[in-house]
Amino acid sequence: GCTFQWSDDDLEMNIGVGRINSAWGVPMSFAVCDTLTTVIVQWGTTNDGSTLDGADAYIVISQDPNGDGDPLDAIVLPCTPVIVKNSASGEWVSYEITPTDVTAGTVHVSCSMLTTAVQFPMGLDNTSGSAENSWTGFGFSDLCDPWSDAGATYGVIDDLAPDLAGNWMIGTPPQQP
């Protein structure tokens, strides 16, 4: 099936970058999978004790044309609007996406949203050993194409903030091939 996850099941840290369009995602390759239909996310929280539940977000699937795991040259496939649920619960939230052909190789699975100064939506696992491929970006203009804005800031979390090295809490559950 289309099962893939860099992180373990434990969210240890919530990351946010202020009132700005933010994206976070990971590359995935599937050995035995034709169509991706579901993505799972563990959402972060806020720094004021409230939750992110009800906030608008997007799940963006992009094709990595050369399989290098870098989303900056990726081609957007579907962009699915979602509503944040069960934030700060430590539970995976499952989202149905537009069925996406993943037979061409590596895809980049990302979340994007406009965040406020108190929101820390990016769930991070920083105890299972970083795979050094959890990408983040901020300051871009299009939530459905977050990796293509020349004026934005992009990079692997390990490089942008080495003390936060880890794996984003984004994955895919068992699905039928």
Mean pLDDT of 13-28: 87
User: Which tokens in the block code for residue 46?
Assistant: 């806020």
Q: Tell me what percent of the residues of the chain surpass a pLDDT of 70.
A: 94
Q: Which residues neighbour 44 within 8 Å (Cβ) at sequence distance 6 or greater?
A: 11, 14, 15, 16, 52, 87, 88, 119, 120, 121, 122, 123, 124
pLDDT (tens digit, 9 = 90+) per residue, 71-129? 999 999 999 999 999 997 888 999 999 998 887 778 899 999 999 888 999 888 888 77
pTM of model > 0.85: yes
- Cα–Cα distance between 148 and 146 in angstroms, integer? 6
Q: Distance between CA atoms of 48 and 82, rounded to whole angstroms?
A: 23
The winner for highest mean pLDDT among 2-11, 57-66, 85-94, 128-137 is 57-66
Provide the percentage of residues in the chain whose pLDDT is more than 90.
41
